[in-house]
Structure formats: structure tokens, C-alpha cells
A and B are shown apart, each in its own frame.
Chain A
């Protein structure tokens, strides 16, 4: 069974540009999460989808970030326009259920560098 995949693995863009990150969850997982780790800091929650609906987007830093999950399958996270402080590693995770006991399976992350 394929795990969570993320594309691209690395992205280097200039301030003001737009970047779109993609996450493909494990097949059959209704729950999809985005997290971010800024250099030297802890991994922080961004948002949670249940199928195509946003269940919790309390961690989204500002309106430059837009997450979508069309059809409840893969998800994209767009940053527009990108700022220097957006640099970091963006992780995606998926789980079958949204129970607190359920394991979240993580992808390898996308390393975003904004110059």
C-alpha cells in the first residue's frame, strides 16, 4: 500500500511568487492534515480536512495560504504571494478516522525556500 506522497520534494521561489504544494493521502483515508515546520521550531498544525470539507483551519497563518481538497482525494496548499517567513518544511498526514486515538501517517514533506 502506498504511503502519503507529497510533491514537489523541494521548491525554491522568490518572494512574491506563488507556489502550490500537493499531497496525496493513503487511499481510503478521509482525513487529511497539513502541518508546517519552520527552521528551528516545532511542527505546527495548519488545517484538517474531512473528505473535501475543512474541519479545522485554525492553524492557517493568514489569507495568503489557500488549501483545497477537490473531490476528497488529493489536496493542494497554495501560497500566494510567498513571503520569506513562509520558508520551512510542509508536511501532509492522513488518517482513516479523526479519532484522537487514530494514527496519522505522514508524508516526507515539501521543503519550501523563499528567497
Chain B
């Protein structure tokens, strides 16, 4: 079975500071990896995903994530936080083999941005 770990429930950064949201997964075979964001009163929006190819993936709004197989990690980063980045962020995985297409999510982490 697959699982996703997002340590902590809340991260607070200053505007302009680096954003680092951690995600580790557990899977017998490296899965496909996703980051979703949920802004208040909205649905989950895909930020970026890794399936194959380059392990550094760039997404929307200046976010990027790097798949590190040896560390079973897919941490999300943004060099400079903006007030509009305040939201809840979810890391998720899907099997890269077989017919199972359901997403398995981490618990999510809330990002606050201080002026």
C-alpha cells in the first residue's frame, strides 16, 4: 500500500522568504507524484506533477518540486513567498503500474505568509 507523509500541519513564512513544504512517500515502486493547492472556498488545483523524465518539475505560480528516489521525497519549493500563496497544500501519489488510478493524499499543510 502507498502512503504519503507531510510533517507538520502549519508553516509560516515571511513574504519574500523561501517556501519549503516537505513530502515523503512510501511505495514498493516509485509512484507518480502530485502537489495540489486549495485556496479558501475553492477546490483542489493541481500545482505540478511528476510522472517521468526530468526529476525537477516546474509548476504554476513559481512553484517547483524535485523527485528524489533515494530519499523517497517530493518536496515543494518556491524561492520567494507571496501573500497570495497562503493556502493549504496537499502532496499525493498514484501508482505508476497497474490499473489503479486513485490518488492517495497526505494530511495537507497550511501555509501562512506574513507581511
Contact = CB atoms under 8 A, between A and B. Distances in A.
Interface of A: 3-4, 31, 33, 35, 40-45, 48, 56, 59, 91, 93, 95, 98-109
- Best-surrounded residue of B43, B94, B95, B102 (most CB of chain A within 10 A): B102
B102 A59 contact: yes
Contacts, number: 62
Contacts of A93: 44
A98 B103 contact: no
Nearest to B32: A100
Contact of B106 (A4, A42, A59): A42
- Best-surrounded residue of A31, A41, A42 (most CB of chain B within 10 A): A42
Contact of B102 (A40, A56, A91, A103): A56
Contacts of A104: 46, 103
Nearest to B94: A100
19 contacts: A4-B43, A35-B105, A40-B107, A43-B44, A43-B90, A43-B103, A43-B105, A43-B108, A45-B102, A95-B101, A98-B101, A100-B95, A100-B96, A101-B49, A101-B51, A105-B43, A106-B43, A107-B43, A108-B41
Nearest to A56: B102
A42 B90 CA distance: 9
Contact of A42 (B43, B44, B51, B108): B108
Nearest to A97: B101
B100 interface: yes
Contacts of A102: 101
